[in-house]
Amino acid sequence: MRILLIGGGGREHALAWKLAQSDKVEKIFAAPGNPGIGLIKKCSCIDLKLDDLEKVADYAEEESIDLTVVGPEATLVAGIADVFKRRGLPVFGPSKAAARLEGSKAFSKELMAKYNIPTAFFKICEDMETAKAYVKEKGAPIVVKADGLAAGKGVVVAMTEAEALEAIEEMMGDHKFGSAGSCIVLEEYMEGEEASLLAFTDGKTVVPMLAAQDHKRIYDNDKGPNTGGMGTYAPAPVMTDILRLKATERILKPVVAAMAKEGTPYQGCLYAGLMIKDDVIKVVEFNCRFGDPETQVVLPLLESDLADIMLACATGTLEQADVSWSDKAAVCVVMASGGYPGSYETGKPISGLSAAGNKENTVVFHAGTKNVNGNIVTAGGRVLGVTAVDDNIRAARDRAYEAVENIKFDGAFYRKDIAWRALKR
Ligand code: AMP
Ligand code: GLY
């Protein structure tokens, strides 16, 4: 199988790493890929403009690509799957209409309301007066969300009315997120513990993965501003087998069925961000792609052939695919540039990558790195995701931190408490 992989972050490194383990995969072209992906034997990083989707499809035809796997939401929301499908090219990832589950929070909330899928109460507001009046009526805490894609920054959990009003002013008045904030969703504040449950689907069959837990805040003890995710572990014990089954039956399967019923079948990876409290599960959000860094802990625990599963999703045969999981645990510690998620410097040389990566049951996924004359330097906020697998979460965590200690770069920052909720249990 020849695969085209779109994207170049830690998530895509994990996808490439797992796909390359398949005997059936002969070659992976990653656009743009990253230096970590470039080190995988079967992988080549290519320079392909992603703004012209017809040209991307031309490339897939010229290179006799059997399957295209799309990592980032922006490319899916832009409609890459529609172009590929029209041209008869197998692609893993939802169509533009189906990707609205992530691309428009208003769409996703209305769909959940229509099909009785459990989520927080909400109001969709298209003008500032309505939004402000609703906040004054409901009071705080309240959650303010920009409707469109805002690179993970479009959600404000306001603990006071003033914070909520300020967020509305920024999104709708100052257009902080451009057109993404011209419509907003105001949402009831939910308490509980979060988990990410991702699923494979071909539009009919839904197969959940192992639940993972992300650590969104920058500092230990979940303090400080939100980030893209500072570390993950799987399986997350908050999601017991019974709750996972419940989430599958009450949330994942109904959403996929709803999308089919609406005439916009959903195919690819469906990511459900869930809030769990006293065995009640509600949806926080849907994403139309794999999570980052959830993928870096979920895929190392997948025992089946990822290329087979993805091709089965793309061709509507997931029911026949084998999807089995290891009973081990994985922990990923993200190493970030000092200053992230605010401003940070780049170009810092990184040492110790092979010492860390050569350790047993350890993989160093590249997220924001660059190769400058043979030296790997930092090139982003989240730089690396160091994943280790072991018999249980505690052992996997210790193994991951042991590897992290080998890696040095100027200003390197990472959380010291990844998996604390699991270990506290
Ligand atoms: P989202 O981008 O929708 O995942 O939101 C980012 C983060 O904001 C989530 O991971 C939650 O921690 C938090 N959040 C979003 N919606 C709510 C809500 N209704 N209640 C409490 N926290 C929320
Ligand atoms: N780690 C959160 C996300 O991928 O959206």
Per-residue model confidence as pLDDT tens digits over 238-271: 999 999 999 999 999 999 999 999 999 999 999 9
Distance CA 246, CA 69 (A): 29
**246 CA → ligand 1 middle, Å:** 21
What is residue 304's predicted lDDT score, i.e. its pLDDT?
A: 98
pLDDT per position as a tens digit, 191-220 = 999 999 999 999 999 999 999 999 999 999
C-alpha angle 352/355/360, rounded to 5°?
Answer: 145
Q: What is the CATH number of domain 2-95?
A: 3.40.50.20
Strands (E) in 163-292, as ranges, are: 184-188, 193-201, 206-208, 213-214, 217-219, 223-226, 231-234, 268-277, 280-287
Task: For the domain covering 329-424, report its CATH number.
Answer: 3.90.600.10
Residue 340: both structure tokens together? 């992230």
Per-residue pLDDT, 185: 97
Cβ of residue 144 lying under 6 Å from some atom of ligand 1: no
pLDDT at 151: 81
Q: Which ligand is nearest to the CA of 196?
A: 2
Q: Which residues of 7-23 are buried (b: 16+ CB within 10 A; e: fewer)?
A: bbbbbbbbbbbbbbebe
Query: For position 375, what pLDDT does the model report?
Result: 96
Ligand 1, closest atom to CA 187?
19
Domain 127-182 has CATH 3.30.1490.20: yes
Nearest CA to ligand 2 atom 1: 292
In the chain, which segments carry CATH 3.30.1490.20? 127-182
Q: What is the DSSP letter of 148?
A: S
Nearest to 291 by CA among 372, 173, 211: 211
pLDDT at residue 125 in the model: 96
In 148-267, DSSP assigns E strands to 155-158, 184-188, 193-201, 206-208, 213-214, 217-219, 223-226, 231-234
Q: What CATH code would you report for 193-320?
A: 3.30.470.20
